[in-house]
């Protein structure tokens, strides 16, 4: 039940946020909204309030907002009285704002979630050494439990993430650690060795063999907000790096996961606690924001691309060119959906119900 409940809540909330972004900006810019749907057909519940029909459907893998006069070459009748409320009659900047609002709302929602999490007590580990592993460069260099790393090569650090990131990116390069030990300030030079364990991108990183003490930092309200924004940026870079490495072929397509993995992660994060679930929802929300902005027809980014082309050629992209582009976009999406389902099922068949790499 944790997997089902977590999956429905996570995707339901993120889909609502995305579609609400389109909906509210369309309303604010005077566009008539015909339908607001969470999920895809068959329809479970539908009600009409005002000029908009609201629907809750059985397939919780998406949603949509239908706008009046949405397609430039549609046969939909637009009366003179409603001309100003048609989507296609709005300026290009307004149409881009409406389409981009979904991904932007997903990103803003992730930032709010993470900031709230850090304000509520998301753990931030201090840069204090808990132990130096046997036969490690750190042990040979003289690190001791309780050493507080305050700077690396003169750059101030205070959170464990900073220490780890610098070490991982410095394999084979000598680093000078400034540490506080029992009231004294010491300089400890050490060269990170190349690890035999790969990271999430399949790359080998630098290691010196130290583990955190587990000491947590108490953040002020302002510092917690800053940490939430910083961590949102980190997750954004992680998603962008993944897409870039996929495009370059540095990561195989088998690394892609889909709804089954999201359901597993949702259940496991619920079992681990509210903080874990909030983190997962934030990460998936940033994923949705960035992926939806890709310039693939049928995605938000594809629509924005059409609008930018329209701004250049001074007329809408219609007819066969648009139809072919949309069909190609649909083929890409169907292929990706089939691929991620295959990857999820193959992983379960070969490795069992586990999320370990």
Q: Tell me: the pLDDT tens digits for 112-133?
A: 999 999 999 888 999 999 999 9
- Residue of 19, 71, 76, 82 with catalytic role: 19
Instruction: For residue 218, indicate whether it is catalytic.
Output: no
* Residue of 207 and 2 predicted with greater confidence: 207
Which ranges in the chain are annotated with CATH 2.30.42.10?
Answer: 129-212
Give the model's pLDDT for residue 198: 67
Give the model's pLDDT for residue 74: 60
* Residue of 82 and 341 predicted with greater confidence: 341
The CA distance from 344 to 337, in Å, is 11
Give the model's pLDDT for residue 240: 93
Average per-residue pLDDT for the chain: 90
- pTM of whole model > 0.75? yes
Core vs surface per residue 221-244: b (16+ CB within 10 A) or e: eeebbebbeebbeebbeebeebee
Are residues 68 and 86 in contact, defined by beta-carbon separation less than 8 angstroms? yes
Which residues partner with 192 through β-bridges? none
Nearest residue to 209 via CA among 298, 113, 138, 144: 138
Q: Which CATH superfamily is domain 129-212 in?
A: PDZ domain (2.30.42.10)
* pLDDT surpassing 80 at residue 90: yes
How confident is residue 185, by pLDDT bands cut at 50, 70 and 90? very high
Q: What average pLDDT score do residues 326-339 get? A: 92
pLDDT in tens, 315-324: 888 888 888 9
Give the model's pLDDT for residue 357: 47
């Amino acid at each position: 039940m944790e997997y089902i409940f977590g999956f429905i809540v996570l995707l339901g909330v993120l889909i609502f946020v995305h579609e609400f972004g389109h909906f509210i900006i369309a309303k604010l810019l005077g566009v008539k909204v015909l339908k607001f749907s969470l999920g895809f057909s068959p329809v479970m519940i539908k009600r009409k309030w005002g000029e908009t029909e609201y629907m809750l459907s059985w397939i919780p893998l998406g949603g949509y907002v239908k706008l009046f006069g949405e397609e430039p070459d549609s046969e939909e009748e637009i009366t003179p009285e409603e001309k100003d409320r048609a989507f296609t009659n709005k300026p290009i900047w307004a149409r881009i704002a409406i389409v981009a609002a979904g991904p932007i709302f997903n990103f803003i929602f992730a930032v709010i979630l993470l900031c709230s999490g850090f304000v509520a007590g998301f753990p931030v580990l201090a840069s204090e050494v808990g132990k130096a592993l046997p036969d490690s460069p750190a042990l040979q260099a003289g690190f001791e439990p309780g050493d507080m790393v305050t700077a690396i090569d003169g750059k101030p650090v205070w959170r464990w993430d900073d220490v780890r990131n610098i070490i991982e990116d410095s394999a084979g390069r000598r680093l000078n650690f400034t540490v506080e030990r029992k009231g004294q300030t010491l300089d400890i030079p050490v060269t990170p060795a190349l690890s035999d364990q790969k990271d999430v991108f399949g790359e080998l990183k630098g290691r010196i063999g130290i583990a955190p003490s587990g000491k947590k930092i108490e953040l002020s309200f302002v510092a917690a907000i800053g940490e939430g924004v910083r961590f949102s940026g980190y997750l954004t870079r992680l998603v962008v790096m993944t897409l870039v490495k996929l495009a370059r072929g540095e990561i195989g397509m088998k690394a892609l996961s889909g709804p089954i993995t999201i359901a597993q992660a949702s259940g496991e994060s619920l079992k681990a606690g509210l903080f874990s679930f909030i983190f997962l929802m934030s990460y998936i929300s940033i994923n949705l924001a960035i992926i939806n902005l890709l310039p693939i027809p049928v995605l938000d980014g594809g629509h924005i691309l059409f609008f930018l082309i329209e701004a250049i050629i001074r007329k809408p992209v219609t007819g066969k060119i648009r139809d072919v582009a949309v069909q190609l976009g649909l083929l890409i999406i169907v292929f990706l959906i089939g691929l991620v389902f295959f990857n999820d099922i193959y992983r379960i068949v070969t490795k069992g119900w586990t999320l370990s790499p």
